[in-house]
Chain A
Amino acid sequence: MRYEAPQDVEAAVRILAAEQGAYVLAGGTDLLVKLRSEMVEPEVVVDIKRIAGMKAITAEDGGWRIGAAVSGAEMGEHAGLVADWPGVVEAAGLIGSTQVQGRATLTGNLCNASPAADSVPAMVAAGAVARVVGPQGTRDVDVIDIPKGPGKTTLAAGEFIASVFLPARGARSGDAYLRFIPRTEMDIAVVGCGISLSLDAEGRVTAARVALGAVGPKVILVEAAAAAIKRRVLDEATLSDLAEACSAAATPIEDKRGTVDFRRHVAGVLARRAAVIAEARAKGEKA
């Protein structure tokens, strides 16, 4: 294995395109685990942290562009980002320990393509867009279209994600992400749910995106859940409909972390709880 730390995107793309067994290294919190277990045996590892902009959080079009090497801890320390997209920041902040937070990135969590990735449902709910760079130039791709299935992405050879863009946060809007884990920390999500919504002056939902993690081979954007709460206030009846729509949309498997029935049920429970938090944030309440 070789280690390369290119100084610019072009050089990185060149190396990645030239070699079959080339892997991108940003935070490394997934890659190093795979290296150790010999799940992957790269020819070359391309460390992108020395490329300008990779460690930056930049205001853009009222939203935020987050460089591919920005760690969860750095996101949590960025007041503007936290104010606009607390759900996404919290989701990223749930990945691993304090130590892992010092390195793990949003982009890495996305490209690792685990169905249980915490930040992905939050990003999908937020309508985040990934900026992909590669031999053919730059393209913007909706985050939901990046994962293809467990461990697989739609990125072509030589491509990598340079940044993720979170759009402008509208007025009376809020997001939230909740996951279920058996302990209080250090676990992989058994179920995850991200919700982003906007309210009108009366508190009715005008726009919503609801995404589920760990209940299918990739993140699920639950249109029916969004439809169930649109033009309604989040009262008990609405929340029940939301929960039901999420449970119905979940297509989980049974594995060491949870049963099918458990995951389906908890998808609804989390959606209901996350919606309440997102609503409070949209109303400007502390949550």
Chain B
Amino acid sequence: MALDDTKKVKDFKVVGTRPNRPDGIDKVTGRARFGADMVAPGMLTGRILRSPHAHARILRIDTSKAEALPGVKAVVTRADFGDVPDHVADVIDNCMAGDKALYDGHAVAAIAATSAAVARKALKLIEVEYEVLPHVTDVDAAMRPGAPVLHEGAQQETVPEGYSGNVISRVEFGHGDIEAGLAKADRVVERTYRTGATHQGYIEPHACLATMSADGQGDLWVCTQGHYMVRNVCAAILGLEQGQLRVTASEIGGGFGGKTVVFLEPVALMLAKKSGRPVKMVMSRSEVLRATGPTASTSIDVRIGMKKDGRITAAFAELRYQGGAYPGSPVDMGSMSAFAPYDLENVKTVGWDVVTNRPKAAAYRAPGAPMAAFAVESAIDELAKGFGLDPLAVRLMNGAKEGTRASYGPTYPAIGLMATLEAAHTHPHWTAPLGENQGRGVACGFWFNFGGDTCVSLNVTPDGTVTVSEGNPDIGGSRASMTMMAAEELGIPYDQVRTIIADTGSLGQNEVTDGSRVTFAVGLATIEAARAAKREMCRRAAMIWGIDEEAVEWEDGAARPAGPNAGKFPPMTIKEIAAVASNTGGPIAGHHEVTAEGAGVSFGTHMVDVEVDPDTGATKILRYTVFQDAGRAVHPAYVEGQFQGGAVQGIGWALNEEYIYGEDGILQNAGFLDYRIPVASDLPMIDTVILEIPNPGHPYGVRGVGETPIVPPLAAVANAVSAAAGVRMTQLPMSPPRVLAAIQAAKG
């Protein structure tokens, strides 16, 4: 649906304001119900037994002693699931190991018992005989011939001969002639960059409550980014009809992509089925870190050539991403996004998807892009500084704009990269003085954004207020945004609309809350649903007035005759029309079902000042400014919140967060003590500058804003630390021991 050009910024009455969110009071009073907050009569506690080995063949599982323990009502192993359709084979294998345990923490059995204490005891009574196998957790090691192979025969035809079986697939993007371009450069930077695996770090552990009847009807309460996905996947695994399984999304305590897949849900349903009782499962924090979906660790080679005036002549990157124990690392998106901010004649990326003995990677906010941006933006920074050029000017010179052929194929429509760069260049932050041991870094970032299957149903109540039902869990204020767009479109006050997240029985298919799609796609469907309701209300008014439908228009919350020729009738408000709806044809509603397209790519530029302690290698973030194109900021406070939250997750990734595996392949830091996400005292305020370059694909110009903010910070912080420490940092996290070692090595 195209941008509605008649809707100018000044025309918006609700969009662009900052009303209180509808779920605000529930969330500040403790009333909001999250995944673990639900109970059911007769409920059992479900627990999972997990592999203590990084890689082991499961020779035998004996559950008889556990089953005999009083209070144990069901025990589940992989055998209970039987054969499943191909498209969910890896999913169930990740939720419950089959022949092999593939990583530390991989589920091997589950129990439902009358209490947590009984369940704990029962887990210890399950006997598992393992044959421990050699393991590999590092991406480069896993690619070498001779590395322990996780899945024989999984390699795809895209992989040339000579690679380990852990290399699953190869992708390639780009255009032009790299070698010819490099030959024209005055300088070529060629470096290898590495990033650690990080976790989304949502504060709410996974939780669900399942019931399953003998007649094949199931109900699931779950914290997820997509309850329709949960329904479809669980139905496939358990052999249910999708319509028989109703999934209700709880309030969700953070996801960032990590709750776009299932872990507990099929197991809980199977336990509920076998026990005939409701089963609640809640992960511990250590289970979350060991056995959910962290991001890929990477190793990336970059070669970029630049003329001494700053023009990039060619850009190449080879990206190696390990995505854990199953195929599907986000290396494809890393490869597509790496050079997306630039207008390049010669550009190529090659990506390798690699499996290792780690938990399968799930999406994490712009999956695959931050690591690629770290490598590319570091190399560009090094080149610019090597020529004594202003790194923002270099980006302005090479930046992508409308009409640029993107490195991954398409030609860009109106985009906002240049606007963010210009805003950054003229911002006081850019020219603020720096002290000793301080450095400033900038970097750009890109994200595709998605649309996808979306349904919205909008109902007008008899008193003329409005309810909006949508199918995407509200992860950061989206109910407020939908309410605002419905109110805007209908011309009624914000408080006359209430938006709810409907269960899977109430709407058609909805794509998960991912790809920064909700404000864009659900917003679009909400606007269309409101337009449908308006058409209907105009029709009712026309009927009452006895004039043609075409002679009625909607303005400011009321139907009005379209012009002097239509007749002289006083406007009928939504309340007046609703009050007589039973006499004019029945209840009034609008709905819209769509596979949304035209999401509109999003760009950002980040700027950060740091101070590095030369004696300890510790980095302090002094100042941070985010510049990003939001298309149209529906609720600016929550747009700022996305910018700030993404930036801080990126700061954590850059400085301290990483999965640390021991020689034994066991995760060493499965807790918030040593998996170090930023705390309040680590940070300054995060300043934001919202640019609004309307997305041509949305009636109000909205672009997704949620993911782009995590793309630039890894590189921005690395560029700042490199400047402050006087040595180029090429590996994340830039933990103090690593920075100190680099400083000392540079000193000689």
Closest chain-A Cβ to B128's Cβ sits at a distance in Å of: 17
Q: Are A259 and B741 in contact (CB under 8 A)?
A: yes
> Given that A188-B673, A262-B741 are contacting pairs, would A180 and B682 also be in contact in the complex, using a CB cutoff of 8 Å?
no
Q: Are B669 and A258 in contact (CB under 8 A)?
A: no
> Given that A258-B737, A259-B741, A262-B741 are contacting pairs, would A183 and B656 also be in contact in the complex, using a CB cutoff of 8 Å?
yes
Given B674, B679, B681, B740, which contacts A257 in the complex, CB threshold below 8 Å? B674
Q: Are B679 and A256 in contact (CB under 8 A)?
A: no
Given A182, A255, A258, A262, which contacts B676 in the complex, CB threshold below 8 Å? A182
Given B615, B682, B735, which contacts A269 in the complex, CB threshold below 8 Å? B615
Q: Is A52 among interface residues, defined by CB-CB distance under 8 A?
A: no
Q: Are B737 and A186 in contact (CB under 8 A)?
A: no
Q: Are A183 and B679 in contact (CB under 8 A)?
A: yes
A255 nearest CB neighbor, chain B only = B668
Q: Are B737 and A259 in contact (CB under 8 A)?
A: yes
Q: Are A180 and B741 in contact (CB under 8 A)?
A: no
Q: Is A265 among interface residues, defined by CB-CB distance under 8 A?
A: yes
Measured in the bound complex, the distance between the Cα atoms of B742 and A259 in whole Å is: 13
Measured in the bound complex, the distance between the Cα atoms of B673 and A182 in whole Å is: 11
B737 nearest CB neighbor, chain A only = A262
Chain B interface mostly = loop
Given A186, A258, A259, A265, which contacts B673 in the complex, CB threshold below 8 Å? A186
Q: Is A176 among interface residues, defined by CB-CB distance under 8 A?
A: no
Closest chain-B Cβ to A117's Cβ sits at a distance in Å of: 14
* In the complex, chain B residues 652-688 whose Cβ is within 8 Å of any chain A Cβ: 655-656, 660, 668-669, 672-674, 676, 678-679, 681-682
Q: Mark A5-37, 1 if CB is under 8 A from B, else 0.
A: 000000000000000000000000000000011
Measured in the bound complex, the distance between the Cα atoms of B286 and A256 in whole Å is: 16
Closest chain-B Cβ to A136's Cβ sits at a distance in Å of: 37
Q: Which residues of B contact A187 (CB under 8 A)?
A: 673-674, 676
Q: Is A184 among interface residues, defined by CB-CB distance under 8 A?
A: yes
Q: Is A185 among interface residues, defined by CB-CB distance under 8 A?
A: yes
A38 nearest CB neighbor, chain B only = B120
Q: Is A266 among interface residues, defined by CB-CB distance under 8 A?
A: yes
* In the complex, chain A residues 222-277 whose Cβ is within 8 Å of any chain B Cβ: 255-259, 261-262, 265-266, 269
Measured in the bound complex, the distance between the Cα atoms of B681 and A255 in whole Å is: 25
Q: Is B562 among interface residues, defined by CB-CB distance under 8 A?
A: no
Q: Are A182 and B736 in contact (CB under 8 A)?
A: yes
Q: Are A183 and B678 in contact (CB under 8 A)?
A: yes
Q: Mark A163-204, 1 if CB is under 8 A from B, else 0.
A: 000000000000000001011111110100000000000000
Q: Are A185 and B668 in contact (CB under 8 A)?
A: no
Q: Are A266 and B673 in contact (CB under 8 A)?
A: no
Measured in the bound complex, the distance between the Cα atoms of B287 and A37 in whole Å is: 11
Q: Which residues of A contact B43 (CB under 8 A)?
A: none
Measured in the bound complex, the distance between the Cα atoms of B741 and A180 in whole Å is: 16
Measured in the bound complex, the distance between the Cα atoms of B676 and A188 in whole Å is: 11
Q: Are B735 and A182 in contact (CB under 8 A)?
A: yes
Q: Which residues of A contact B158 (CB under 8 A)?
A: none
Given B286, B615, B668, B679, which contacts A184 in the complex, CB threshold below 8 Å? B679
Q: Are A262 and B740 in contact (CB under 8 A)?
A: yes
A272 nearest CB neighbor, chain B only = B615
Scoring A38, A188, A257 by chain B CB atoms within 10 A of each residue's CB, the highest score goes to: A257
Closest chain-B Cβ to A100's Cβ sits at a distance in Å of: 11
Q: Which residues of B contact A262 (CB under 8 A)?
A: 617, 736-737, 740-741
Measured in the bound complex, the distance between the Cα atoms of B214 and A184 in whole Å is: 54
Q: Is B496 among interface residues, defined by CB-CB distance under 8 A?
A: no
Closest chain-A Cβ to B740's Cβ sits at a distance in Å of: 6
Q: Are A180 and B618 in contact (CB under 8 A)?
A: yes
Measured in the bound complex, the distance between the Cα atoms of B672 and A230 in whole Å is: 42
Closest chain-A Cβ to B732's Cβ sits at a distance in Å of: 13
Q: Which residues of A contact B676 (CB under 8 A)?
A: 182-183, 186-187
Measured in the bound complex, the distance between the Cα atoms of B655 and A256 in whole Å is: 15
Q: Is B115 among interface residues, defined by CB-CB distance under 8 A?
A: no
Closest chain-A Cβ to B48's Cβ sits at a distance in Å of: 15
B678 nearest CB neighbor, chain A only = A183
Measured in the bound complex, the distance between the Cα atoms of B673 and A188 in whole Å is: 8
Q: Which residues of B contact A185 (CB under 8 A)?
A: 679, 681-682
B733 nearest CB neighbor, chain A only = A182
Q: Are B669 and A180 in contact (CB under 8 A)?
A: no
Q: Is B616 among interface residues, defined by CB-CB distance under 8 A?
A: yes
Q: Are A180 and B679 in contact (CB under 8 A)?
A: no
Measured in the bound complex, the distance between the Cα atoms of B735 and A68 in whole Å is: 36
Measured in the bound complex, the distance between the Cα atoms of B744 and A150 in whole Å is: 31
Which residues does A use to contact B, with CB under 8 Å? 36-38, 180, 182-188, 190, 255-259, 261-262, 265-266, 269
Q: Please list 20 pairs of residues, one from A and one from B, whose beta carbons are closer than 8 Å in the complex, sorted by A's number.
A: A36-B284, A180-B618, A182-B656, A183-B656, A183-B681, A184-B682, A185-B681, A187-B673, A187-B676, A188-B673, A188-B674, A256-B668, A256-B669, A257-B674, A261-B737, A261-B741, A262-B736, A262-B741, A265-B740, A269-B615
The 10 closest A-B pairs by CB, nearest first: A262-B737, A184-B681, A256-B668, A269-B615, A256-B660, A259-B737, A182-B656, A185-B681, A184-B682, A185-B679
